[in-house]
Amino acid sequence: MNKTYDVIIIGAGPAGLAAAIEAKKTGAKDVLIIERNDEPGGILLQCIHNGFGSVLFKKDLPGPAYAYNFITEAKQLGIEMLFDTMVLDITASRKIYATNSHEGFLEFDAKAIVLAMGCRERTRGQIRIPGTRPAGVFTAGMVQRLVNIEGLMPGKNFVILGSGDIGMIMARRLTIEGAKVIKVVELMPYLTGLRRNYVQCLQDFNIQLSLSTTIKRIIGKNRVEAVETVKVDDCLNPVAGTEEMIDCDSILLSIGLIPENELSKKSGVQLDPLTGGPIVDENMATNVAGIFSAGNVVTIYDLVDYVSKAGFIAGKNAAMYAAGQTAVKKYVEVKAGDGIRTVIPQKISVERGLVPLSNEVLFEMRVTKEYPSKISVDLMDGVNVIASHKEKYARPAEMITMKVDWNDLTTKLSKDTAGLVVKIS
Amino acid sequence: MNNKFDFIIIGSGIVGSLVARELSRYECSVLVIEKEIDVGMCPSSANSAIIHAGYDPKPGTLKAKMNAEGNRLWHEFAPELGVQFKETGSYVVAVGPDELPAINLLYEQGVKNSIPGIAVIGREEMLKREPLINPMVSGALWSPSAAVIDPFGAVLAAAENAVVNGVKYLFETRFLGFIFNGTRITGITTSKGDFFCDWAINSAGLFSDEVAHKAGVKEGFQIIPRKGSYIIFDAAKFSINNVLFQVPSALGKGVLVSTTTHGNVMIGPDSQLSENKEDSSTTREGLLSIEAGAKKLVPSIDVRNSIVTYSGIRATGNGDKDFIIETAKEVQGLINLLGIDSPGFVSAPAIAKRAVELLKEAGVKLKDKETFNPIRKPFPHFHLMSHKEKAELINKNPAYGRIICRCEEVTEGEILDAIHSPIPARTYDSIKRRTWLGTGRCQGAFDYPRVIQILARELKIPETEVTKKGKGSELVFRRTKEIIA
């Protein structure tokens, strides 16, 4: 099997499905999604809680229902999907090598590719939690899959490390399934997930949250028997004398997500060390011609609706690239300035050829710390403010989205610009 | 099962497994008993994975002799057994002028120990060979015969080869005591019943003192367990292709920075007293100390790129700390292999050969087995193959087309190989050690649910009986929606 497609999308999660749909609607004839799972929907399938779709559908949907809308549309549009299939390699000339057990080793050529592999969870090893190495230390997303998809309960008494969204959602879920969630501990002095999840998942279920607290060590030979927690100071160092021993059989880690870019690197896509994802322009184009990327593979979003939106942009531009309709002649860089930790896009096209592209440019940012009162996010060209965006407050857990008109931006840009900076003032 | 054997080996670490393989060269019956669910679960799979050159042990000691001989033998055994083995050579790096004299002393010791090819190299040469080395480097001892090995893979390969050549293994079988006829050992009692033998070989590692004491010998000998922690790095984030030691101190070889057969960088170990022989927990202080130690060699090391930390326990004896390889004197029918700590792994092939010599010296007649096959073919490793090889493998068996571990690209076919091998993998960790599944960046987050399914299916057990590393380490305990009694 060796086939050429207009657009091939890696991953049938929210970003990939949206990209496929928009690619097809934009005119790409042959569109293929390659998915490693046995069905489309990605991580949404295990997110059986509600909270999805408020932006795109003005509805409060559970994950599978949100996915279903896209899956149905993709099927109606005749988008091909290949399941249980793992992509092993992507080259800069857009050759894709993949494998599955029903068709064997596969080779494809794509006129354009959209990378939509999503992200993975940070693990115990990455934060080097001391102690023994028993069974019972799980990442939150893995437990979500075990409980919601496989129907298996991995423990009875849980301590959760990290106040990320999946951790809090799983605290509620495990409680409903009959487990006891003893406590959620968070290293930072603030909540790292969304406030609404704190209220709906912890407060409403009387689950205690301890900020500025971490796990000092894990105890237990075969299965977790206890954890020792400890308070940390402002520099995140343990404070002696604040240790607390908690008996439990399971530890759930919700300590962050990392864009999954092993394939991207193989194809020569350049990554941003801050986001961990590809450096993209406003069209979700990477530095490799014809390779686009969208969703959590680019930067970690908090709302799936924006992941889908990014997928639409990537899919549309991939289709246009496949049809030979686009060409960017010149870029300026976008950098994170004071108060901003990450920003996408990291570059903006300022001279475009051929067919005009969308004029709406979305900047998506995370701040470095909590800003309790009103702030202004400014897009600067040297000392000149190109665009400004107000927020009532800002938290690292909540992404800030700023819309800028492309014509307006390029008109205001100085001829000898040294690049754009977004900062908080 | 017939419960009478010519030889019973207690413990299936690298020493026990290599003794088993050595004995399988002869017409005789051999049983290996192991308290854990798999081979090499203790120090044999959590150590520095280095085939030391042999300049380090004091000349004239058993350690010096076994190390030099063991290094030579591994170069022969690794290809025979299909074990991953990288001939890296090693450096002992002097930082600052004060450490240079120690390098020269090690060189002289190496010459006395007849270590091939060792040389002292200068600062410039060291900087050229390892640009990431501390710029304060003043010189180094280069030992070309040092290598790195896949330690668990080596134990497994030796054990599998022994099994193919007729050795029996019994797992989850705890040694309880010896059976005597007068002062002659005639068998052992275990948690799985009595087994009889002409000779017992004590290769019980951390517990070798207790086994010897049960025979009423080596009363004064004791294992003082010391643990050493390691940090492994994400290969995609940080890479070094050398083996770099610090100048040794009274406490041992110190923290090293080393490549592994798998291409990850490893740093460690520290040296701390364990609370007991099973305490392999890491501590914050220990991890911080190896970080500091590693930075002395390679200042740019960033522990935020770690993927896993663990610790192993050294089976260090009291007394002069030399290996004890001897036929018990007060009783008949027992070979003791005691105090096998560093450089134990590299020495193991020589220790195994020495154990067989001891048996011959004691009058045991061993006849060569004509059917002995020294070659053990490793199972395929999908991710190491070319596209063409992958395609051919999947054509032969579609199970190799299904990727179960995304980071390390481990296929269902490889998992099935591990489960149905001569030493069958029956737990998550056993599969992990054989296939490298779950050892990458995501540490199994993707494969766990899938491996639970495969193990349950292949072992014909419910998912609730699938374990990480044997009884008590179950991964899930019930299905959801079950009525809780």
| pLDDT confidence of residue A107 | 96
Chain A positions touching B36 (Cβ under 8 A) are none
Residue B444 pLDDT level (bands cut at 50, 70, 90) = confident
| pLDDT confidence of residue A354 | 60
Check: CB of residue A92 under 8 Å from CB of residue A226: no
Secondary structure of residue A23 in the 3-state scheme: helix
Tens-place pLDDT, residues B201-234: 999 999 999 999 999 999 999 999 999 999 999 9
Which single residue is written with the structure tokens 């790095």?
Answer: B233
Say if residue A68 is exposed, middle or buried (CB neighbours under 10 Å; 0-12, 13-18, 19+). middle
Say if residue B150 is exposed, middle or buried (CB neighbours under 10 Å; 0-12, 13-18, 19+). buried
Helix, strand, coil shares, percent, chain B, to 5: 35, 25, 40
Tens-place pLDDT, residues B137-190: 999 999 999 999 999 999 999 999 999 999 999 999 999 999 999 999 999 999
ipTM of the complex: 0.91
Superfamily per CATH, domain A1-119+257-324: FAD/NAD(P)-binding domain (3.50.50.60)
Q: What is the 3-state secondary structure (H, E, C) of B207-245?
A: HHHHHHHHCCCCCCCCECCEEEEEEEECCCCCCCCCEEE
| pLDDT confidence of residue A314 | 96
> What residues 249-308 of chain A have any CB closer than 8 A to a CB of chain B?
258, 262, 265
Distance from the Cα of B301 to chain A's closest Cα (Å) equals 14
CB contact (8 A) between residue A150 and residue B394:
no
Say if residue B276 is exposed, middle or buried (CB neighbours under 10 Å; 0-12, 13-18, 19+). exposed
Chain A positions touching B457 (Cβ under 8 A) are none
Statement: residue B42 has pLDDT above 90: no
Burial B128-139 (b: 16+ CB within 10 A, else e): eebebbbeebbb
| Mean residue pLDDT across chain B | 95
Residue range(s) in chain A whose domain bears CATH number 3.50.50.60: 1-119+257-324, 123-255
A-B Cβ pairs (cutoff 8 Å, strict): 154
Interface mutation vs chain B, best among A35, A126, A187, most B CBs within 10 Å:
A126
Statement: residue B421 has pLDDT above 60: yes
| CATH tag for A123-255 (out of 1.10.10.10, 3.40.50.300, 3.30.300.130, 3.50.50.60) | 3.50.50.60
Distance (Å, whole) CA A129 – CA B351: 37
Tally of CA atoms within 13 A in the half-sphere of B326 that contains its CB: 13
Integer-rounded Cα radius of gyration of chain B: 23
CB contact (8 A) between residue B445 and residue A121:
yes
| Contact residues for B171 (Cβ-Cβ < 8 A; gap 6+) | B12, B34, B36, B37, B38
Q: Report which of B103, B87, B93, B104 is spatially closest to residue B53, judged by C-alpha positions.
A: B87
Q: In sequence order, what DSSP letters do the residues of A131-196 get, joined into one string?
A: B---BTEEEHHHHHHIIIII-EE--SEEEEE---HHHHHHHHHHHHTT-EEEEEE-SSSS--S-HH
- Considering only CB atoms, A135 lies closest to which of B309, B468, B481, namely B468
Residue B45 pLDDT level (bands cut at 50, 70, 90) = confident
| Contact residues for A302 (Cβ-Cβ < 8 A; gap 6+) | A165, A194, A397, A398, A399
CB contact (8 A) between residue B449 and residue A149:
yes
Q: Phi then psi for B458, rounded to 5 degrees?
A: -75, -35
| pLDDT confidence of residue A355 | 60
Tens-place pLDDT, residues B251-302: 777 899 999 999 999 999 998 888 889 888 999 999 999 999 999 999 999 9
| pLDDT confidence of residue B485 | 59
| pLDDT confidence of residue B254 | 86
> What residues 325-344 of chain B have any CB closer than 8 A to a CB of chain A?
none
Residues of B annotated as catalytic (active site), given as ranges: 52
A91 touches chain B (CB under 8 A): no
Q: Which helix (H) or strand (E) holds A330?
A: strand A326-336
Number of DSSP helices (H) and strands (E) in chain B, helices first: 12, 23
Distance (Å, whole) CA B301 – CA B297: 9
CB contact (8 A) between residue A100 and residue B469:
no
The number of residues in chain B equals: 485
Neighbours of A304 (CB within 10 A): 28
Q: Closest chain A residue to B311 measured between Cα atoms?
A: A132
A150 touches chain B (CB under 8 A): yes
| pLDDT confidence of residue B1 | 61
Distance (Å, whole) CA A173 – CA A186: 19
Chain B positions touching A97 (Cβ under 8 A) are 387
Check: CB of residue A211 under 8 Å from CB of residue A221: no
CB contact (8 A) between residue A178 and residue B471:
no
Chain B positions touching A145 (Cβ under 8 A) are 449
Chain A positions touching B304 (Cβ under 8 A) are 126
Q: Closest chain A residue to B277 measured between Cα atoms?
A: A221
Choose the weakest-confidence range: B96-110, B244-258, B387-401: B244-258
AA letter at B433? R
Chain A positions touching B412 (Cβ under 8 A) are 101
| Contact residues for A379 (Cβ-Cβ < 8 A; gap 6+) | A334, A363, A385, A386, A387, A388, A402, A404, A409, A420, A421, A422
**List of domains in chain B:** 4-44+151-221+319-361 (3.50.50.60), 84-149+224-314 (3.30.9.10), 382-465 (1.10.10)
- Considering only CB atoms, B473 lies closest to which of A84, A217, A223, namely A223
Statement: residue B482 has pLDDT above 80: no
> What residues 163-222 of chain A have any CB closer than 8 A to a CB of chain B?
177-178, 216-219, 221-222
Eight-class DSSP state of A211 = S
Residues of chain A with pLDDT under 50: 1
> What residues 71-90 of chain A have any CB closer than 8 A to a CB of chain B?
84, 86, 88-89
Residue B2 pLDDT level (bands cut at 50, 70, 90) = confident
Residue A320 token pair: 């246009």
Distance (Å, whole) CA A317 – CA A283: 6
| pLDDT confidence of residue A155 | 97
Statement: residue B455 has pLDDT above 80: yes
Peptide bond preceding B57: is omega within 30 degrees of 0, i.e. cis?
A: no
Longest dimension (CA), chain B: 72
List the alpha helices (DSSP H) in A31-164: 63-76, 124-127, 140-145
| pLDDT confidence of residue A48 | 96
Q: At what angle do helices A304-322 and A63-76 cross, to 10 degrees?
A: 20
Check: CB of residue A297 under 8 Å from CB of residue A258: no
Q: Report which of A223, A5, A193 is spatially closest to residue A107, judged by C-alpha positions.
A: A5
